[in-house]
Amino acid sequence: MSGQRTFTMIKPDAVQKGYTGAILNQITEAGFRIVAMKQTQMTTEDAQTFYAIHKERPFFGELVDYMTGGPIVAAILEKDNAVEDFRALIGATNPEDAAEGTIRKKYAESISANAIHGSDSDDNAQIESSFHFSGREMF
Ligand code: RTP
Ligand code: MG
């Protein structure tokens, strides 16, 4: 069966520190196929829209500033059980709670600057993928 899909962003802190290659290597070694990928920078409006679900949270302003502070690498990934397996690969939101060997444990600075995003449901994977990519960018 062809795999289900999830959406990820390598966040500005990790891109800025040069972790893009190592993180992509860990992702492909874990069995994810790259369906689409690009380096881009989110505008304030992009980040406010992308994270609209968090707009009442106290960290929303900080989150938008962080996500717009430098380039990100956005990608669509394919694997059986993609959403759940990718969340396991990246680890807990707070790197202090993330399991040994997970991407956040290895590369995140803090609960705010936590190196990488992973969609939390199949529906959100679809919405987030369409936010960043057109059909002609997916292979
Ligand atoms: P993500 O959506 O980025 O994959 O992260 P997540 O599901 O593990 O965490 P979520 O609750 O969706 O939070 C989204 C992002 O907001 C920042 N955050 N900061 N300062 C804080 O207490 C706090 N809590 C969350 C993080 O960048 C988190 O990934
Ligand atoms: Mg989330």
- 56-71 pLDDT per residue, tens: 999 999 999 999 999 9
| Tokens (6 digits) for 24 | 């992509």
Reported as a pLDDT band with limits 50, 70 and 90, residue 48 is: very high
Total Cβ atoms within 10 A of residue 126: 15
Residue 30 token pair:
């874990």
Residue 28 DSSP one-character state = H
**pLDDT for position 1:** 42
Q: Residue 96 above 70 pLDDT? A: yes
CATH 3.30.70.1230 fits 4-43+70-137, yes or no: no
Q: Which atom of ligand 1 is nearest to the CA of 113?
A: 27
> If pLDDT is split at 50, 70 and 90, which confidence band does 3 have?
low
Confidence class for position 130, pLDDT limits 50, 70, 90: very high
CA of 107 to the centre of ligand 2 (A): 17
- Left (φ > 0), alpha (ψ -120 to 50) or beta: where does 81 sit? left
Is the Cβ atom of 114 under 6 angstroms away from ligand 1?
A: yes
Q: Which amino acid is at 75?
A: A
Domain boundaries, given as residue ranges, for the chain: 4-43+70-137
Q: What percent of the chain has pLDDT over 90?
A: 98
The Cα 81–Cα 30 span in angstroms is 12
Please give the Cα distance from 138 to 48 (Å, whole number): 24
- State pTM to two decimals: 0.97
> Rounded distance, CA 103 to CA 44, Å?
26
Residue 2 has pLDDT above 60, yes or no: no
| CB 6 near ligand 1, within 6 Å | no
pLDDT for 15 beyond 80: yes
